[in-house]
Structure 1
Amino acid sequence: MDFTLNDEQKLMIETARKVGEAFGPDYWREKDANKSFPTECWQAVCDAGLSGAMLPEDLGGAGLGMVEVALIIEELCAAGAGATLAQVFMLNPIFGGVSVAKYGTDQMKSEWLPKMCSGEMQFCMALTEPDAGSNSLEMRATAVAEADGWRLNGQKIWITGVPQSHKMLVGARTTPIDKATKKTLGISLFMIDTDREGVSHTPIDKLGTNTLPSSQVFFDNVHVRSDELIGDVDKGWYQLLDVLNTERIVTTAGLIGAGRLAVRLGVDYAKERRVFGQTPIGAYQSIQFPLAQHWAELEAAKLLNLKAASLFDRGLHFGSESNAAKLLASQAASAVAERSMQVMGGMGFSKEMHVERLWRDARLFRFAPVSEEMILNYIATVNLDLPRSY
């Protein structure tokens, strides 16, 4: 297995690093404080040709793969953003790009994807429901067929980036679960206008990831046109898995970048801070060893994530690798952010030093977009062949 980066990948990483450094920690601290979307940063990402890295060139992309996307996201997040910038990639190249590129009509592809690459159009996905959570098969939102499309009703929760989006990927039951021949059938995906009549949303006050709003979304007798179906009627669950599994890779890349940033901030502080004499605190093993441990964990998660991305690019199964990588990265990023706060002592509690934001943001990904417990369930049943407990 060759881990050497080619010239194109090196250039792409360098481009991502420069874009990321132009929007460093101070920029993200301000955005976090004001709870404002990183519009300028995302436009710069698009202008640099990074947002459409894995989309075909004739649709405005670069024709690269998921490996390159993971490397781009990691570098951008390590430069100052932390894990939240990866979420913008989830919204657009994944929720918008993957779903439309794989299952959309030719008109959707030619009309929407170039605009996604340029930053003119943004997406979100309405999947999670209050009573379903991780068990999306139990979703209760319904889309009832009518003469020229469907009529959508229901509620979603913890939907990211709704106010900024133009299009919303919605999962709904088109066949009731008690009438479907199997539980995985009966769900369909639609791409509708976010400002469609009957669609409303309210913000959720939350601990972190403040640069991206989270919302409750309500569908009240919303008309969905027949040409807004993504893929096949009643087979949306299988299409959804393609979107969700790539989401894992993107999430992990952002966490690795956030972890790298937390390590760097902790190390820089440890080199400068002196107590009880002239020795920098970074010379003490009690400071060194935890940071070194988390560095090793992040490197392991990165290699596993790149394996998952490589498998995806070759059309092979990558669920086990992407889930395991996300498990390791979420734990390592959360732990090293807290460790860097501890290294800084009281200063780590201040917003000036940035690590408190990384800590707040990284904590989300211990249970989102898939929880540790569900990942362990997956590994136990799929990789260890243990019986299901749920």
Structure 2
Amino acid sequence: MDFRFDESQRMMIDTARQIGQRFGLEYWRKQDAARSFPAEYWRTVCEAGLCGVALPEEYGGSGLGMMEMSLIVENLAATGGGSTVGQLFMINPIFGGVSIARFGPEAMRKELLPGIISGEINCCMALTEPDAGTNTLEIRTFASADGDGWRLNGRKIWITGVQSANKMLIVARTKKVADSTSRTDGLSMFMIDVQREGLSFTPIDKLGTCTLDSSSVFFDDVAIEPTELIGTLHQGWRELLDVLNTERIVTTAGLVGTGELAIQLAVDYANDRKVFGNTPISAYQGLQFPLAQCHVEVQAARLLNYKAATQFDMGLPYGSEANAAKLLAAQAVSRATERAMQTMGGMGYSKEFHVERLWRDCRLFRFAPVSEEMILNYVANHDLKMPRSY
């Protein structure tokens, strides 16, 4: 295995770092306080060509891979944005870009991919439901046939980025369970306009990731055109998994960058802080050892995520690595942000020193986009070949 980055990868890292440093921590503190979508930041990222790094060249992308996207996300996160950067890439080049590039009809690719890559079109995905949660196969939102198209009715919850989105990737049942040949039969994906008659949403007041809204979404007889189907009618389950597993990779990259940033903020503070005489508190092993442990754990998650991204790019199975990396990263970064706050003492609780935002934001990823418990179920069932308990 070759762990060296090539010239184009190093250039992407440098570009991501420069953009992240240009905006900096203060920008994100203000956006968080205002609960405002980072529009200027995202536009700059897209103008630099970073959004479309893994999307096809014929539509304006770079035609590279998830490895390059991982490097971009973690370096943007490490220079100020934190784990929210992973969400920005999740909703746009993943939910919007990957789903369309891999499974969308050619007309949809030509119409939407250039705008997603340039940042003119923002996306979101409506998957989770109040009574289904992680159990996607139990979703009830239903698209019933209506001429050549469909009529959509149902409800989704915890949908990220609806307020800033132009397009929404929707996962719905198109065949009744009683008429399906299996639990996975009868699921389909659609890409529709957010501004459409019968579609409404209500924001959810929440703890963190405040620069990206989360909403309950309601569908009341929403019309879907035949050209808005993505993938195979009734057989969208396997296609959806391809989208969701790449989601894991960018989530992990955002977390890895967050861990790096939190630890560096803690080290910088500890190097400057003197309490007993002229010795900086960073010299005390009671502070050194926990931060060193966090650093090692974040590095482990980073390398496993690189493996997942590389295997995706090579066309090899990557689900186990992607899920395991996300589990490690979420746990490691939860500890890293907590330890960074502890290192700073009272100032770690202050918004002025930024770690509290990183701590609030990263907490989400212990249970989203997939919970620790479901990842452990996956590892036990798929990797260890143990029986299912559910």
TM-score, length-scaled by structure 2 = 0.99
1:1-390 → structure 2 map (5 Å cutoff): 1-390=1-390
How far 1:23 sits from its partner (Å)?
A: 1.4
By how many angstroms is 1:57 displaced? 1.3
Q: Determine the C-alpha separation between the residues in 2 that align with 1:369 and 1:291.
A: 27
Q: Aligned to 2:179, what secondary structure does the other structure show? A: coil
The residue type equivalent to 1:197 in the other structure is E
Taking the aligned partners of 2:332 and 2:81, their CA distance within structure 1 comes to 17
Shift of 1:278: 1.1
Give 3-state SS (helix, strand or coil) of 1:365's partner. helix
In structure 2, what is the Cα distance between the partners aligned to 1:249 and 1:316?
Answer: 15
Equivalent position SS for 1:369: coil
Offset of 1:86 from its aligned partner?
1.0
> Could you tell me how far 1:204 is from its partner in structure 2?
0.1
SS of structure 1 residue aligned to 2:298: helix
Give the distance between the partners of 1:178 and 1:293, measured in 2 at CA. 52
How far apart, in 2, do the equivalents of 1:177 and 1:19 lie? 48
- Between the aligned partners of 1:316 and 1:23, the Cα distance in structure 2 is 37
Separation in structure 2 between the aligned mates of residue 363 and residue 30 of structure 1, nearest angstrom: 20
Distance in 2 separating the partners of 1:322 and 1:253: 11
SS in 2 for 1:131: coil
Note the C-alpha offset of 1:178.
Answer: 2.1
Following superposition, the deviation at residue 56 of structure 1 comes to 1.4
SS at match of 1:178: helix
Separation in 2 of the partners of 1:373 and 1:56? 35
Structure 1 unmatched runs, 5+? none
Offset, 1:277: 1.2
- Opposite residue 244 of structure 1, the aligned amino acid is L
- RMSD of the alignment, in Å? 0.6
SS at match of 1:344: helix
Matched residues in 1 for 2:107 and 2:24: separation? 38
The offset of 1:177, in angstroms, is 1.4
Return the alpha-carbon distance in structure 2 between the equivalents of residues 63 and 303 of structure 1. Answer: 23
What is the deviation of 1:236? 1.1
Using the TM superposition, give the Cα deviation of residue 320 of structure 1 relative to its aligned residue in structure 2, in angstroms.
Answer: 0.5
Secondary structure of the residue aligned to 1:120 is: coil
Question: Could you tell me the TM-score, scaled by structure 1's length?
Answer: 0.99
One-letter identity of the residue aligned with 2:26: D
SS at match of 1:67: helix
Supply the distance in 2 between the matched residues of 1:148 and 1:162 (Cα, whole angstroms).
27
- State the aligned residue count: 390
Partner-residue secondary structure (3-state), 2:200: strand
Q: Deviations over 1:270-292 (max 9, x none)?
A: 10001121110000001000100
In structure 1, distance between residues paired with 2:262 and 2:67: 23
For 1:348, the aligned partner's letter is G
The one-letter amino acid paired with 2:53 is A
Instruction: Give the drift of 1:148.
Output: 2.7
Q: Runs of 5+ in structure 2 lacking a partner?
A: none
- Give the deviation of 1:221 after TM superposition: 0.4
Percent identical residues: 63
